[in-house]
């Protein structure tokens, strides 16, 4: 593997300015991530706070016992119990087969930054992956993209429940899931490690029956040698730990909402689009009942918590009572989850994607309201894998890898097609069409004089002739493309691999495409690379 770093802007301007630590964005956060001593400062701040380390470590230990783990996992549990330890944390939804590549990039980022800071600080730093099992947006996780001759093919798992149920509570039919997995690997094509990967995934499918557990098995299996701790945000034991913090969120819900709205005003006045939709009535909590996750709002006039879509109504005291009896019914939204994470974990750094950076910037005043600071928000590694065959195509076409990843390849492909097209024939065809249109103006005039009702027929007649010229031109274009299909196919192949669906590779491709070819060692080779958290895009030639 060969690692190269290039400058490619983030997917939104806010994140790009944050990565460069430029104002005004820099001022929306509590730490300057370009400062050499940023982690020393954060470490001191964390050491001044109190955490339920023993209970948290026991909770994670219990959760992970059901999944693949190693001595490194146990070491991380022990480290978390240590009062001098901190964590590097990040999270994602439980995508099928671990979802898009950016989930893998985030996990690698968490582990690598934890390793680096443990060495630099001389204190235990634990990598933690927080699965958003309490989320209910099924459509974001129920599919995978695979390569086809026509582009990227989306294959969804049809057995998915469409109710607003938490992902951790959605059960799949094991036989249906096995069929879906087999279909995905048919689309990948049989390669050197196909049987090995299918065996691994079948074991995961048949050992569990929820999407979160399926996801957790694959993550813990592939990264068990690196001390990664994993916890589901919907875990019932974790909810018991969270009770006092939910109490705090209920008590201060109006103040938290006002703080977020105030920060959003500042961001909006600086010309940025907002990442979160927050209303003055937002309570920033979900209540889970009858397998449905219901967003709560707060009526400030009546001092009641309620739902717009149901007849649920609670007083603050009633919510406190329900929290005491049924903490598993409560869950966070995009505003309160970062705060809950801060109260639970001694967080040295949070690993964030571009979208997450944007919404964390809207939380500064909310954190200050509860006497906390946001942790240093470290942009996750952005990675593009370049296979040798794709690299050869890029070189043969005299293209720049960086430009292809950043801007796509449409312009270059179109320029090539234009260069091999018969411009003379196109010019002649256009002249004849112009001549016809001009000639028909006289025909229209005479027809209209003789019988105006025949004018639509004359117009249809012209349209027919023009369509025939377009038909001929299309056939000529197809013939020319066919004659040059070897080159055009190279452009198409580069696009599918490096800028699919006009997006980054990491948002479309899945890790099992690469594991199918290279096996489990692909993960270990990735983990052997020395990554710098410098905001640059990483090109890995494989």
Instruction: With respect to residue 316, please indicate whether it lies within any of the assigned structural domains.
Output: no
Q: Does 312 reside within a domain?
A: no
291 within domain boundaries: no
Torsion of CA 433, 437, 440, 444, to 10 degrees: 150
Q: What is the pLDDT of residue 149?
A: 83
DSSP string, 165-221: --GGGPBPPHHHHHHHHHHHHHHH---TTHHHHHHHHHHHHHH--BHHHHHHHHHHH
Among residues 107, 400, 56, 92, which one has the least CA distance to residue 237? Answer: 56
Burial of residue 258, with CB atoms counted within 10 A of its CB: 0-12 exposed, 13-18 middle, 19 or more buried? middle
Quick check: is 70 in a domain?
A: yes
Tens digits of residue pLDDT in 375-425: 999 999 999 999 999 999 999 999 999 999 999 999 999 999 999 888 888
Residue 477's pLDDT is: 86
Q: Closest Cα to residue 436, out of 411, 403, 458, 406?
A: 458
The answer to whether residues 414 and 391 belong to one domain is no
- Name the CA dihedral angle for 443, 447, 450, 452, rounded to a multiple of 10 degrees: -150
- Calculate what percentage of the chain has a pLDDT beyond 90: 91
pLDDT digits (tens, 9 = 90+) for 158-202: 866 556 788 899 999 999 999 999 999 999 999 999 999 999 999
List, as own/partner pairs, every contact residues 266-271 make where C-beta atoms lie below 8 angstroms and the sequence separation is at least 24, other chains included.
266/28, 267/28, 267/361, 267/362, 270/24
Q: Answer yes or no: do 201 and 242 share one domain.
A: yes
Residue that finishes a domain, picked among 478, 498, 518: 498
217 and 148 in one domain?
A: yes
- The pLDDT tens digits for 40-77 are 999 999 999 999 999 999 999 999 999 999 999 999 99
**Based on the structure, what is the number of domains in the chain?**
2
pLDDT digits (tens, 9 = 90+) for 321-349: 999 999 999 999 999 999 999 999 999 99
Query: How far apart are the C-alpha atoms of 76 and 53, rounded to whole Å?
Result: 12
One domain for residues 389 and 432: no
| Count of beta carbons in the 10 Å neighbourhood of residue 292 | 16
Q: What are phi and psi of 128, to 5 degrees?
A: -130, 130
The answer to whether 14 touches 25, Cβ cutoff 8 Å, is yes
Q: Is 284 helix (H, G, I), strand (E, B) or coil?
A: strand
> Are 422 and 519 in the same domain?
no
Q: Are residues 173 and 241 in the same domain?
A: yes
Residue 293 lies in a domain: no
- Other beta carbons less than 10 A from residue 320's beta carbon: 15
Please report, for residues 190, 212, 226, the alpha-carbon distance to residue 521 in angstroms, rounded to integers and kept in the order given: 18, 24, 14
State mean pLDDT over 519-525: 98
| Residue at 308 is within a domain | no
Residue 84 sits at φ, ψ, to 5 deg, of: -95, 5
Could you read off the pLDDT of 131-151 as tens digits, one per residue? Answer: 998 887 888 889 999 999 889
Query: From CA 59, how far away is CA 327, in angstroms rounded?
Result: 15
Residue 246 CB neighbours (<10 A): 20
Q: Higher pLDDT residue, 478 or 366?
A: 366
The rounded Cα 165 to chain-centroid distance in angstroms is 20
Distance CA 65, CA 54 (A): 16
Condensed to tens digits (0 to 9), the pLDDT of residues 20-40 reads 999 999 999 999 999 999 999
Q: How far is residue 135 from each of residues 140, 211, 265, measured CA to CA in Å? A: 10, 12, 27
Question: How do residues 394-407 score in pLDDT, each as one tens digit?
Answer: 999 999 999 999 99
pLDDT at 137: 81
Question: From CA 425, how far away is CA 480, in angstroms rounded?
Answer: 12
Are 497 and 387 spatial neighbours (Cβ–Cβ below 8 Å)? yes
- The CA-atom distances, in angstroms, between 371 and each of 278, 348, 374, 480 are 21, 17, 10, 68
**CA-wise closest residue to 109 among 97, 131, 91:** 91
| 191: its two tokens | 């390669």
Backbone angles phi, psi at 63, to 5 degrees: -60, -45
Same domain, 467 and 529: no
**% pLDDT > 70, the chain:** 99
CATH number, domain of 384, equals: 3.40.50.620
SS3 content of the chain, % helix, strand, coil (to 5): 60, 15, 25
Distance CA 177, CA 174 (A): 5
Domain of 201 in residue numbering reads as: 1-284+334-398+506-542
Confidence (pLDDT) at 417: 92
404 located within any domain: no
Instruction: Give the DSSP H/E element, type plus range, for residue 158.
Output: none
Q: Are strands 86-92 and 125-131 parallel, antiparallel or unpaired?
A: parallel
The total of other beta-carbon atoms located within 10 Å of residue 326's CB is: 13
User: pLDDT by residue (tens digit) across 208-264?
Assistant: 999 999 999 999 999 999 999 999 999 999 999 999 999 999 999 999 999 999 999
pTM: 0.92
What mean pLDDT value characterizes the chain? 95
> Is there a single domain that holds both residue 71 and residue 150?
yes
Residues 388 and 528 both lie in one domain: yes
Q: Are residues 343 and 485 in the same domain?
A: no
Contact 382, 406 (CB under 8 A): no
Is residue 302 one of the residues assigned to a domain?
A: no
Can you spell out the DSSP letters for 463-481?
Answer: HHHHHHHHHHHHHHHHHHH
Cβ within 8 Å of residue 169, ≥6 positions away: 210, 234, 291
- Output the pLDDT for position 162: 58
Q: Tell me the residue length of the chain.
A: 542
In a shared domain, residues 486 and 389 = no
Spatial separation of the C-alpha atoms in residues 207 and 174, rounded to whole Å = 9
Q: Are residues 91 and 155 in the same domain?
A: yes
């Amino acid at each position: 593997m060969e690692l190269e770093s290039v400058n490619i802007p983030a997917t939104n301007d806010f994140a790009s300015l944050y990565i460069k630590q430029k104002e005004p964005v820099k001022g929306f956060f509590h730490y300057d991530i370009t400062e050499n001593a940023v982690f020393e400062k954060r470490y001191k701040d964390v050491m001044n706070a109190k955490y339920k380390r023993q209970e948290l470590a026991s909770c994670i230990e219990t959760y992970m016992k059901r999944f693949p783990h190693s001595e490194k996992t146990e070491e991380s549990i022990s480290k978390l119990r240590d009062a001098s330890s901190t964590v590097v944390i990040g999270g994602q939804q439980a995508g099928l087969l671990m979802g898009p590549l950016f989930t893998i990039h985030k996990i690698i980022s968490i582990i690598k930054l934890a390793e680096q800071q443990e060495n630099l600080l001389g204190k235990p730093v634990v990598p933690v992956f927080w699965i958003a099992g309490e989320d209910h947006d099924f459509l974001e996780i129920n599919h995978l993209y695979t390569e086809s001759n026509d582009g990227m093919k989306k294959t969804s798992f049809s057995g998915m429940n469409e109710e607003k149920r938490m992902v951790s509570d959605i059960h799949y039919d094991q036989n249906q899931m096995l069929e879906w997995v087999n279909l995905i690997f048919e689309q990948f094509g049989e390669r050197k490690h196909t049987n090995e990967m299918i065996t691994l995934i079948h074991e995961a499918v048949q050992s569990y029956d929820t999407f979160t557990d399926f996801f957790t098995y694959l993550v813990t299996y592939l990264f068990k040698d690196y001390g990664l701790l994993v916890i589901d945000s919907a875990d019932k034991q974790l909810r018991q730990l969270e009770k006092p913090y939910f109490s705090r969120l209920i008590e201060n819900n109006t103040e938290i909402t006002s703080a977020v709205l105030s920060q959003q005003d500042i961001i909006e006045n600086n010309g940025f689009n907002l990442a979160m939709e927050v209303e003055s009535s937002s309570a920033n909590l979900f209540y889970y009942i009858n397998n449905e996750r219901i967003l709560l709002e707060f009526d400030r006039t009546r001092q009641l918590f309620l739902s717009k879509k149901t007849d649920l109504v609670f007083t603050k005291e009633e919510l406190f009572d329900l929290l005491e009896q049924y903490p598993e019914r409560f869950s966070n939204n995009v505003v309160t989850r970062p705060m809950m994470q801060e109260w639970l974990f001694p967080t040295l750094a949070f690993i964030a994607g571009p979208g997450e950076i944007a919404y964390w910037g809207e939380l500064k005043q909310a954190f200050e309201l509860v006497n906390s600071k946001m942790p240093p928000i470290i942009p996750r590694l952005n990675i593009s894998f370049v296979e040798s065959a794709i690299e050869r195509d890029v070189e043969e076409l005299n293209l720049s890898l960086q430009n292809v990843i950043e801007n796509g390849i449409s312009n270059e492909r179109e320029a090539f097609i234009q260069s091999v097209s018969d411009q003379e024939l196109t010019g002649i065809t256009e002249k004849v069409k112009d001549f016809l249109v001009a000639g028909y103006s006289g025909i229209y005039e005479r027809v209209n004089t003789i019988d105006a009702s025949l004018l639509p027929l004359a117009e249809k007649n012209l349209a027919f002739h023009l369509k025939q010229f377009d038909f001929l031109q299309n056939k000529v274009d197809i013939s020319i493309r066919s004659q040059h299909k070897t080159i055009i196919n190279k452009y198409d192949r580069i696009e599918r691999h490096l800028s699919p669906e006009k997006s980054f590779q990491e948002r479309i491709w899945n890790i099992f495409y690469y594991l199918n070819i290279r096996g489990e060692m692909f993960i270990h080779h990735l983990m052997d690379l020395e990554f710098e958290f410098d905001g640059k895009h990483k090109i890995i030639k494989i």
